[in-house]
Structure 1
Amino acid sequence: MIELDDIDRSILRALQSDATQGAGALGKRFGLSQPATWRRIKRLESAGVIAGRRILLDREALGFGVTVFLGVKLATKGRVSLEDFERAVTAIPEVQAVHHVLGLYDYRLRVVARDLADFERVLRRRIMTLPGVGNVEANVILTEERLAGPIG
């Protein structure tokens, strides 16, 4: 595990809120030179603390007004059925995240759709036809708050 100082944590918080910020702007903000800030960012990337940088898309602006958490319980279990299910479900573009979990369901999926009718189409034609699918439970997201993850 890498040791983080207060400046490292500040840089991580700043990048977490806006990953497009350059080392020069971050350096000015935290009293460092551009090269010193760049070295810190590279060290954090090399250590695996920064796993990547992503652009967050506004699903509603793109026409996807419904997000659903879907619990999926497989009818049959075993190494082959898990791998088959995972391979098939990750090929569905509306499925944004796949989590293999412990509990009542085997998987939790984050699914986006244009509206409820579109979600029903995705559920019936794509998800329910996947290998090994048994029971499903859908939870439609009404509101969502983005919380920043913990930084040491």
Structure 2
Amino acid sequence: MIDLDDTDRAILRALSANAGLSAGALGRRLGLSQPAAWRRIRRLEDAGVLAGQRVVVDQAALGFGVTVFLGVKLATKGRVSLEDFERAVTAIPEVQVVQHVLGLFDYRLRVVARDIADFERILRRRILTLPGVGSVEANVLLSEERRPGPLGREPG
């Protein structure tokens, strides 16, 4: 684990909000030179704290207006391997996230669909036909708020 100072935390907050910031822009924002900002970013990358950049796609803008979280319980764990289920479910393009979890369900899926009728089609034709699926519970996303995470918000 790497020791983070206030400047490191400020860099992480700024990059979490806008991963496309250049070292120069980040330095100007935080009162650092471009080389100093670049060295700190590089140190955070080398330590594995920064693991990459992501593009956030607006699903609704692409016509996917419904997001559903599915809890999936496998029918018989011994009859189908987890790897077989995972391989099959990750091949479904509407399934955005597959999480193997501990608790009431074996898996948690994030599924996007154009509308409820489209989701029903995906559920009936693709998800319920996967190897080993026993029971499924659906929760439709009503709204989503981005949380700041463990770094907290910048004072101000």
Q: Confirm or deny a common fold (TM above 0.5).
A: yes
Quote the Cα distance in structure 1 between the aligned partners of 2:109 and 2:125. 16
Quote the Cα distance in structure 2 between the aligned partners of 1:133 and 1:23. 48
Other structure's SS at 2:16 match: helix
Once the two structures are TM-superposed, the CA of residue 44 in structure 1 deviates from its matched residue by 0.6
Once the two structures are TM-superposed, the CA of residue 151 in structure 1 deviates from its matched residue by 2.3
- Bigger drift between 77-86 and 37-46 goes to 77-86
Please name the residue that 2:125 is paired with. 125
Once the two structures are TM-superposed, the CA of residue 80 in structure 1 deviates from its matched residue by 5.4
8 Å contact from structure 2 (residues 27, 33) kept in 1: yes
Q: 1:139 corresponds to which letter in structure 2?
A: N
Q: Structure 1: which 4+ aligned runs deviate by more than 2 Å?
A: none
TM-score by length of 2: 0.94
Percentage of matched positions with identical amino acids: 78
Structure 2 gaps of 5+ residues are none
Structure 1 gaps of 5+ residues are none
TM-score by length of 1: 0.96
Quote the Cα distance in structure 1 between the aligned partners of 2:37 and 2:88. 42
Cα deviation 1:6-54 (Å, max 9, x = unaligned): 0000000000011011100000111111111111111111111011110
Please name the residue that 1:150 is paired with. 150
Other structure's SS at 1:150 match: helix
Cα deviation 1:114-144 (Å, max 9, x = unaligned): 0001101111111111111000000001111
Q: 1:115 corresponds to which letter in structure 2?
A: D
Quote the Cα distance in structure 2 between the aligned partners of 1:80 and 1:19. 40
